[in-house]
Structure 1
Amino acid sequence: MTLVTTGVVVLDCAEPEKLAEFYKELLGAEEVDAHAGRVEIRAADGFRLALRRDVNATVPSWPRPENSLQAHVEFVVDDVHDLDAVERRIVSLGGRRLETGDPSGPTEERGYADPAGHSFTVRRGTPTAPKQG
């Protein structure tokens, strides 16, 4: 018998309502719940993301090596999407590009930070091997 029925990625931030707008626009998502400092959204594919108020939240510093165990969210785009166009959209919504190191490999991947500083990547295709190192 399954006890857990679903999972939600939760990001802490100072202004969850504002950050929810960024992700709703980026993902074409809808708000499914909002109360007492927490906003949850759901994308068309079912991906769920919640933003939770934490007035003491600090901006993550990924991709610095000393923070290599820090989590980030990864979004996948299909091969027909132009990653430059995706990047322009992210920046227009208030995100910023992060220098994430070596861009070579079987999958093109780009790193970004949302307006509150949480890191995420956008990649095209399916990775063929696990991360090394």
Structure 2
Amino acid sequence: MSLVKAGVVVLDCAEPEKLAVFYKELLEAEEAVVTANVVEIRAPGGTRLAFRRDANATPPSWPRPENALQVHLDFLVEDLDEAERRVVGLGGRPLETRGAPTVYEERGYADPAGHSFTLRLLPSTAPKRG
């Protein structure tokens, strides 16, 4: 029997309530824990994120090297264009992430507090033809 039952990624930010709304809408999640300094959400697929109040939090500068990456989230999607419209509509912004080639079709974004994340296209499950 596993001692650890679940993992939660925690993002530090100045306004956890506002950042939780962004991810709650993006992931179609529900609030699981709300305290004075932490808001945790759970998405239908099992993703758990928490947002912890830190008045001095500074977002990473990725992909620029001035500040460490700190944390990076990847979300798997079926339609990159549709997902991008949703991210931007919720207050996220695209990041210029050109660099090393990747085996994935993906796009980088920043949430309203500046944390970076990637939307990655789900690999096709259709059988290869030809």
TM-score, normalisation: structure 1: 0.85
SS in 2 for 1:32: strand
Deviates more, 1:52-61 or 1:105-114: 105-114
Q: Is the 8 A contact 2:60 2:69 kept in 1?
A: no
SS in 2 for 1:23: helix
Residue matched to 1:117: 114
Residue matched to 1:4: 4
SS in 1 for 2:51: strand
One-letter code of the match for 2:88? Answer: V
For the pair 1:98 / 2:104, whether they are aligned, the reply is: no
TM-score, normalisation: structure 2: 0.86
Moved over 2 A (4+): 65-71, 102-106
Residue matched to 2:77: 77
User: How far apart are residue 103 of structure 1 and its match?
Assistant: 8.0
Q: Is the 8 A contact 1:103 1:109 kept in 2?
A: no
One-letter code of the match for 2:45? Answer: D
In 1, Cα distance between the equivalents of 2:68 and 2:55? Answer: 24
**Residue identity (%):** 67
Residue matched to 2:86: 89
Q: Is the 8 A contact 2:77 2:122 kept in 1?
A: yes
User: How far apart are residue 96 of structure 1 and its match?
Assistant: 0.3
User: How far apart are residue 2 of structure 1 and its match?
Assistant: 2.4
Residue matched to 1:42: 42
In 1, Cα distance between the equivalents of 2:39 and 2:70? Answer: 22
User: How far apart are residue 60 of structure 1 and its match?
Assistant: 1.0
User: How far apart are residue 4 of structure 1 and its match?
Assistant: 1.3
Q: 1:15 to 1:101 in 2, by over 3 A?
A: same
Consecutive unaligned residues of structure 2, counting only runs of 5 or more, are 124-130
Consecutive unaligned residues of structure 1, counting only runs of 5 or more, are 127-133
- Equivalent pairs counted in the alignment come to 123
Q: Is the 8 A contact 1:10 1:50 kept in 2?
A: yes
